[in-house]
Structure 1
């Protein structure tokens, strides 16, 4: 049986590959891409079967450019993954902390470790495009004065040792990833979460009416994000995530919401993933 081909932003052992492993298992073919747009293009060109895309972080917030990609490519959302972001200091085997002069990582990862760097102000911090790429460079170039900030998967993949564990400032740091596909057969048995997009009229209370319909049918709103409609002043697309326990009440709510919205799109129904 052919392996599932999963497009990720970054290289092997990045957090996106870790999220892919959590959803699909490790017996997959990872398609490395330099950008989120490239992951969508890989799916469009049939070079991948799925895309794993970060959509929000508990510290950094929503990744707004990725909402634009969801709008432009209109792929189906078939699942989600919450990944705890744990950041470690990785070095070549045998390297001592006293030898370190340089630290490399993605700028967001660096910012998430600010308390650690306050303790060691003499370290030269360098920004890079990908956490895993920094780990790979240390392995490939055998750098003994440089460490990377990356995950445990990167340490395992590139044969590095963890000098310092859990150096992130906030220990409750999560990123939510979406699983996208262009397959038409996307029915998920017992789905209990959905992602929607729609516009409302400019009438007073129009958005409130939609939200009240969900509340009245015991459908829980877990996320709402607005994005301007291209070329239209004061008009917005709303991206909404909802959860339910009673599928019939959910279906009734959707039927009513359709009457109060414009350009309604059901982006996907799937199983919610609990944080761990």
Structure 2
């Protein structure tokens, strides 16, 4: 049974993503922060980890790109998950009785339209959606609600006061599957890389042109500041291709323009769907 680290506790969206990737027969390693998740993987406490990396409403979790580089983790897969947010409370509690709402900051951001419509309610950030739900059950809090998923409602025996409160219903999160071992899948058709560029004019355009000439599709590109080097940046990019030869040629040519380039993993791209 694989030990898979997740950010959060049972009932979190990370658990759903882990089971979508690896099946139901897994052993969860609960981590309250993304850094704890990385430490768990690096120390061997877990065999694999599932980490949220971008959301269609909240955008990219840029700090997680930094953690992947810092802990030198490898990407072996990805999972897309439909995210539907529910407002949860103890059975019998009505919305008018709610004075406090807790959830993970990313979840709160995804529900800002609903939250802006409430009056007299204080909203607090927590470390996890499901942990917020568990807190209500364990504390028997009759004036508090949590924003979490339907699985958390079932797991902690809470009622759904308001369903599907996410601002945009096309709400999806992409999760990366990580290991502590180098990964370059022979059958992979997607790669994640990180690279540093010099300050010469046009260096970013040069490396992007290399990918274009070799028919490489950039599905995502992010810039992250380099700690200790003001106004210098490391870029993270996700690449897809139809021919592995094209990818290999592109990587060889890209190295001519980058100060450094790291291959974080080659893996099979996940089929994005609306289920």
> TM-score, normalised to structure 2's length?
0.90
- The match for 1:174 is 172
> Paired residue for 1:242, among 239, 243, 246?
239
| Number of residue-to-residue matches in the alignment | 273
Measure how far apart 1:194 and its partner are: 0.5
> Paired residue for 1:111, among 105, 109, 112?
109
Structure 2 runs not aligned, ≥5 long: none
Aligned pairs for 1:265-276 (under 5 A) are: 265-273=262-270, 274-276=272-274
Of the structure 1 ranges 228-237 and 5-14, higher mean CA displacement relative to structure 2 is found in 228-237
Measure how far apart 1:268 and its partner are: 0.5
Distance 1:93 1:228, change over 3 A: closer
Q: Is 1:225 the counterpart of 2:225 in the alignment?
A: no
Measure how far apart 1:116 and its partner are: 2.3
* Aligned counterparts of 1:57 and 1:161: Cα–Cα separation in 2: 26
* Aligned counterparts of 2:260 and 2:67: Cα–Cα separation in 1: 17
Q: Is 1:165 the counterpart of 2:163 in the alignment?
A: yes
> What is the root-mean-square deviation of aligned Cα atoms in Å?
2.0
Q: What secondary structure does 1:116 align onto?
A: helix
* Aligned counterparts of 2:190 and 2:251: Cα–Cα separation in 1: 13
Distance 1:118 1:74, change over 3 A: closer
Q: Is 1:22 the counterpart of 2:20 in the alignment?
A: yes
Distance 1:260 1:108, change over 3 A: closer
Measure how far apart 1:221 and its partner are: 0.9
Q: Is the 8 A contact 2:58 2:109 kept in 1?
A: no
* Aligned counterparts of 2:102 and 2:223: Cα–Cα separation in 1: 34
Provide, for residues 107-164 of structure 1, a one-character-per-residue CA deviation record: whole Å limited to 9, x for no partner. Answer: 3323332332344313343432221111112222333333211001211221222232
Of the structure 1 ranges 39-48 and 256-265, higher mean CA displacement relative to structure 2 is found in 256-265
* Aligned counterparts of 1:35 and 1:199: Cα–Cα separation in 2: 27
Measure how far apart 1:227 and its partner are: 2.1
Q: What secondary structure does 2:255 align onto?
A: helix
- The match for 2:138 is 140
Measure how far apart 1:48 and its partner are: 0.5
Q: Is the 8 A contact 2:33 2:127 kept in 1?
A: no
> Paired residue for 1:42, among 37, 40, 43?
40
Distance 1:111 1:62, change over 3 A: closer
Measure how far apart 1:7 and its partner are: 1.1
Measure how far apart 1:41 and its partner are: 1.0
* Aligned counterparts of 2:125 and 2:202: Cα–Cα separation in 1: 46
Distance 1:275 1:113, change over 3 A: same
Distance 1:219 1:147, change over 3 A: same
Q: Is 1:4 the counterpart of 2:5 in the alignment?
A: no
Measure how far apart 1:234 and its partner are: 4.5
